[in-house]
Structure 1
Amino acid sequence: MVDERAQARAQIRGTKQGAESDLLARKNVIGVDIADKETDGKNTGQLAIVVFVDAKQPMSKLSAADRVPKEIDGIPTDVQEMTVELQGPSMELVDEVTPQVDTTAYSTLHGGISMGPLRSVYLTPPDVPSAGNYIFAGTLGAMVRDRGNGATMALTNFHVACVNNTWSVGDRMVQPSLLDGGSSGNQFGSLSRATLSDAVDGSVVTVDTGKSTTASVQDIGDVAGHTAATVGAAVRKRGRTTELTYGTVVSTDFTVSINYGSDVGSHTLHHQIRIQTDTSQSARFSDHGDSGSVIMDGNRMVVGLLFAGSSDGQWTFANPIQSVLDELNVDLMVAPVVTRPIISCLNTRLVVCNITRPAACVLTRTAGCNVTRTVVCITTRTVTCNITTRAASCPVLTRTPTCNVLLTRAGCNIPIPDPGPVENGQVDDGHGYGATTDLPEEYWAGYLAALEEVNELDQSDEV
């Protein structure tokens, strides 16, 4: 079934791409994708060219040129509602700062944390409620390396680090953002380059010399690499605002037109990743301030760079990561692989500890009194200590004590049980052995030899 769906997508893709420009030019149309057709709000399971609009209009209110045809080259169409917005950067007037969720200043730079420009940007309505200088917050997605000079860089969106077309190379960045309590003392790098193309909304910031970094994403772990997103894959992201959230890739064919505002205006991005929120784990996948987050699959492979989403939180959109890396001329920094040797040279020694009461256990008779003990004694018992060791070439030593005594570096530490009552002049330990029982010397020899062997196994580095 999956292969049939993939083949159906491939057959529709060419027609959808050829019709995109015409469809996007129609009234209220903001996106085009390949998805299941809906009838009366129910999924039919039939793949179609889906046209997304801000709000559906009665056919009577649309001109013939603005109506979406019922099919295109024999492929059915569907019209669905969606309101799209950039998922950041969060912004506030300089004098009206309200920090959001993660405002932590991290000593080591890594993915999934707050960042933003050190500068403020003057904006006017309708982009903002009132004219003034605004500060911004977004997310540092991941650490990358410049393909040209090998410099360590931080990856995020164009609209997070640049904001609009007033940016310049060298603009300073802070972590956390100014909106989240950062200041000039939190500077970590300079904006080096950025792109807002038909596939990528991205930028990279060269990290200052001496600043500590790690190839990881907060709450997710080490970055293992990158790969192409696949329909149906479970994904997650960690962003500054909604932090760790979960979703599912539903398309890699999404085309969307978004109003970037200010001096940028409307911009269309093609071949984007569309992600549906897993509402069983997250109320929404992203929100304002999460822009710049990287999208990762279950193997900690990066598949995309988050830049926008729907206002209701149901959908999130991301640039394909390969396009991001190529346009910005960088490579993801990947955590080093720790090679752990395969332990194939384990030897197991079976040590039988014949444990008995100490020889020092004696009875003291006091005239006119019953026999009393001066030292607690135990009965003879056999305890099997399974000591797993290694050959000299193995780098680790694993010990698996399976006995009912404690194994210590001094050998078998034998807990001594309380004795039973005194009967007929002897101390009964509950096992039929009396305190006056004589033990053969060879018994003690075997016991001490076993303890010495255990001790040698513990102390040796070449076992």
Structure 2
Amino acid sequence: MITGRSLTRAVIAVLLVAAPAVWFACSDNAPSSSTGPSLAAKTATGRPVAGLLGALAVQRRHTPALLDIPGVVGTAVTAMPDGGAGVLILTERSGIAGLPQALDGVPVTVRVTGRLMAFSDPTQRQRPAPMGFSVGHPAITAGTIGARVRDALGRVYILSNNHVLANSNGANIGDPEYQPGPFDGGTSADQIATLTDFQVISFATNGSNTIDAAIALSTTDVLDNATPADDGYSMPNSTIYGDANNDGLFDDPSALLGLNVQKYGRTTRLTHGQITGVNATVTICYAVSGFTCTKTPATWTS
């Protein structure tokens, strides 16, 4: 239950973290230009950046006014193509009006970054809740919203595991589901859905299971049909892969071997993998104390 990013974002992160350290290390009465060898800042390639300290002072002075311009999300100091320092303005989109070409004699360049956002926290309450966020029955810890599914009448449901929504067979139809799950602070005030149905798990010694699944009735007002916009994979395809005859089964299981897959989960967020085996039979423990399985494991076959 409880179980890469673009170069642009990486560069922005370095600027936002490193720049304050540079600012605080510089005295307010520091020279306005780097005239001596001891003050010559260099790029990662070892090339000096002329006028860095002066550009830092100019950027610091003009940043409040720049951030008041709609669409501007940040500023920094950068190395210009001629080797000198310039002020970098970060914007949500291109075509922002009113941006200067220079500030106090320091050249300005603009870079479109889009809106800068903190990464989603799947353990937090959110409405509508994205796929992959924390959810759970009041009697469990926390699990993951697997998907938003719809029936023939247009009603929408959370699809997750029996052990997440139905407490490993211990729940009753009509029980509430919390988002986030109880382990993540969810309470009755955070109810997002109502348990509607679940596939019973057999814990018998000779039992056999094929799915660990449950659904809980919800609404589109509180339940989204996509993973988080900032670090997810958007909306999943509703078409079953490799099912040309629409019988709900893979037409050729061998075609699954080597297939790249991805998922977004409450604990691991976005992960990628590859299918390396089919027709698996495994036993899974559902209750652990230390290193001991305290409940007869359930057997699963694909």
Q: Which has the larger radius of gyration?
A: 1
TM-score computed with the length of structure 2 as normaliser: 0.48
Higher strand share: 1
TM-score computed with the length of structure 1 as normaliser: 0.32
